[in-house]
Amino acid sequence: MDLSKKIAQGINKLGLSVGEQQLSQFQEIIERLIKWNKAYNLTAIRDPEQMVILHLFDSLSIAPLLRPGRLLDVGTGPGYPGIPLAILEPNREYVLLDSNGKKTRYLKQLVHEMKLKQVTVLDSRVEQWQPDRPFDVIVSRAFASLQKMTDLTDHLLAEDGVWQAMKGENPVNEQASLPENIQLVSVEPVAVPLLNAERHLVTLKKA
């Protein structure tokens, strides 16, 4: 399988405008994931083609819907969606947070070697972390229910900021259990190239 060709085709289907350097960086992060997954157990996905679809394309699919500003990727795991988004939009500030030391060590090395100066990686439990200033956007992917995510990260979000949660099917039950101080802004379907499954981006704000 030609990784670079598959990545270029998917980016094209997503309608994203990227340069050769960005395409090369997308390929590099997948190659690093393949290489280091055996040692660090970074993801349950072993097949390179599935890594491209389920990590890279899935992450980039939300890019057109992301709100502007300083971004926190909470429960980033091996760096998704944060790393692909940082490569796509380098003029934004990113913080990638996870409590798994193996994954954050891998990420710190990747960020250093790839010179992604717009990215900071932190090893911490989200409820214990106190940043110097809040975030405009908090993104999560397979992190927790909407209620738990907003509860754990409420202290990290700016007053006029938004949560943007990546979900599979439209999480109707999760929306129904949101507290009164959290307002649903939108639920938008997202198409991921080569993935035959539902994806939605749920945007929430403080009421």
Residues annotated in the binding site, as ranges?
A: 75, 80, 126-127, 141
For the chain, give the number of residues.
207
Question: pLDDT by residue (tens digit) across 15-24?
Answer: 999 999 999 9
Classify strands 157-167 and 119-123 as parallel, antiparallel or unpaired: unpaired
Is residue 90 a part of any domain in this protein? yes
- Which one-letter DSSP state was computed for residue 38? H
Cα–Cα dist 122/63, whole Å? 22
Residues annotated in the binding site for S-adenosyl-L-methionine, as ranges?
A: 75, 80, 126-127, 141
Is residue 40 a part of any domain in this protein? no
Is residue 140 a part of any domain in this protein? yes
Looking at the structure of the chain, the number of domains it has is 1
Is residue 53 a part of any domain in this protein? no
Cα–Cα dist 113/149, whole Å? 31
Is residue 116 a part of any domain in this protein? yes
Indicate which CATH number applies to the domain containing 131: 3.40.50.150
Cα–Cα dist 181/16, whole Å? 35
In this prediction, residue 154 has a pLDDT band, given cuts at 50, 70 and 90, of very high
Kindly report the pTM of this predicted structure: 0.96
Nearest to 114 by CA among 53, 32, 17: 32
Is residue 149 a part of any domain in this protein? yes
Is residue 109 a part of any domain in this protein? yes
Structure tokens at 66: 């992301």
- Structural domain boundaries, residue 103: 62-206
Is residue 163 a part of any domain in this protein? yes
Question: pLDDT by residue (tens digit) across 84-139?
Answer: 999 999 999 999 999 999 999 999 999 999 999 999 999 999 999 999 999 999 99
Quote the distance between the C-alpha of residue 32 and its chain's center.
Answer: 17
